[in-house]
Amino acid sequence: MIDFDVQAVRRRFPALSELHDGRPLVFFDGPGGTQVPETVIEAVSTYYRESNANAGGPFSTSERNDAIAHEAHLAMADLLGAADPESIKFGANMTTLTLHLSRSIGATLSPGDEVVVTNLDHQANVDPWLLMAKDRGVTVKTVDIRPDDASLDLSSLDDALGPKTKLVAFGWASNAVGTITRAADIIFRAHKVGALAYVDAVHFAPHAAMDVHTIDADFVVCSAYKVFGPHAGVLYGKRDLLDSLPAYKVRPAHDRFETGTPNFEGMAGVLAAVEYLAWVGRTQGVAEEGTGRRLTLHTAMTAIRTYEMELYGRLVDGLEAIKGVRIHGVTERGQFDRRTPTAALTIEGVAPRAAAEALGRDGIAALDGDFYATGLIERLGLAESGGVLRIGLVHYNTAEEVDRLLESLERIAAGAAAVA
């Protein structure tokens, strides 16, 4: 393993000390929501103690509130690689933000225009566009996957694109099977036909460095609670696009897309989560003191990516040795740069729900089902059998936890084989 001080990381997360039958509870449910550092918890509670006010007031608590909101926008701009904090918009979550933006984007479209979605995506980056298309008389085309490795079929994308294409919505990484898409290439193809690109980065964000300008994304959206923060959504949009889109808001609203009173305590937590990631960058021995936060965050995410994928290799080695276990998605080790450390499993003779329940009894948190990637699980032919069991590694997981998981899965698979 690389020189990554995972124990120092783990000491930052109070939930990791939780016990189940006298043993530490193991969290492999990160794709559904990560645990948070103590500093995030403290930032939210400190907000309530010292800064709980609405915006724009000429008094101290309101001024502190506004300062926190401003710093949170700067922090997310740094994490996403955005140059302008005004291009960052907070909302309830990725789904709500996308529903909101789909309405604004839809107002610019006409019957006969086309939008493109994919079979790889979480429904939150599919259904809002379907709903908008129904309201506006817009045609929707769906890009298929390659079932052998659950990757996006780029020839299907090329077939879907044309002069009427106005928007391509796709995910940077699949939350169900972990496939990473060729985001810059997809965006280039979209722009070549004059279309906008709307990128769901919810599953990608906890696992790798992001630079919205390098990939030339028009919109990127993620959820902070998947990135060691509180329940809040964050949208990046190119400033000229945000300024030009129709805004569905009440007349006096201070921002065209942050409608209503924002979740200021959530912003405080998001700011603390980004600062935690900067701490990771400073403490792994590669970011020099005084390095700017944006570069430090890039360093952190690079270190996290390397550690997680080495840990994932250990997981795959063990899974491949268990009879009856199948990993769905990219499985070739030479192609692991095309995936996150998220394993989608089926176990012969064991329903995914039954496997998750058995792991739960062993003190191991893992989720089962389709994880709102409904179209993908249907396309893989797994919907009728309950979807998949998802094992999501993040950088606070350890080799010992992986080994404990493998022991449990081996017992579960062996039990099914014995019954058969």
Q: Spell out the domain ranges in the chain.
A: 6-36+294-419, 41-274
Categorize the per-residue pLDDT at 251 as very low, low, confident or very high, splitting at 50, 70 and 90: confident
Q: Give one DSSP letter per residue of 218-278, joined into a string.
A: SEEEEEGGGTTS-S-EEEEE-HHHHHHS-----TT-SSSSS-SS--HHHHHHHHHHHHHHH
| Helix, strand, coil abundance in the chain, percent, nearest 5 | 45, 15, 35
Q: What is the residue-averaged pLDDT of the chain?
A: 96
- Average pLDDT (393-410) is 98
Higher pLDDT, 34 or 285: 34
Categorize the per-residue pLDDT at 1 as very low, low, confident or very high, splitting at 50, 70 and 90: very low
Query: Max Cα separation, the chain?
Result: 72
Q: Which residues share a beta bridge with 200?
A: 171, 221
Question: 6-36+294-419 — its CATH code?
Answer: 3.90.1150.10
pTM greater than 0.95 (yes/no):
yes
| Count of CB atoms situated within 10 Å of the CB of 378 | 14
3-state secondary structure of 179: strand
Q: At residue 200, what are phi and psi to the nearest 5 degrees? A: -85, 110
Question: Residue with structure tokens 């259904």?
Answer: 127
47 with 69: CB under 8 angstroms? no
Q: Using alpha carbons only, what angle is made at residue 379 by residues 145 and 98, rounded to the nearest 5 degrees?
A: 75
3-state secondary structure of 29: strand
Task: For 101-259, list the strands marked E by DSSP.
Answer: 114-118, 139-143, 145-146, 151-152, 165-171, 196-200, 219-223, 233-237
Strands 139-143 and 388-392: unpaired
pLDDT of residue 420: 52
- Average pLDDT (250-279) is 95
pLDDT of residue 3: 84
Q: At residue 42, what are phi and psi to the nearest 5 degrees? A: -65, -35
Share of the chain above pLDDT 70, in %: 97
Residues 6+ apart with CB under 8 A from 48: 265
Question: 41-274 — its CATH code?
Answer: 3.40.640.10
**Tokens standing for residue 395:** 């950088």
Helices vs strands, H then E, count in the chain: 13, 17
Rounded to whole angstroms, how far apart are CA atoms 83 and 160? Answer: 32
User: What pLDDT, in 10s, does the model give residues 175-186?
Assistant: 999 999 999 999
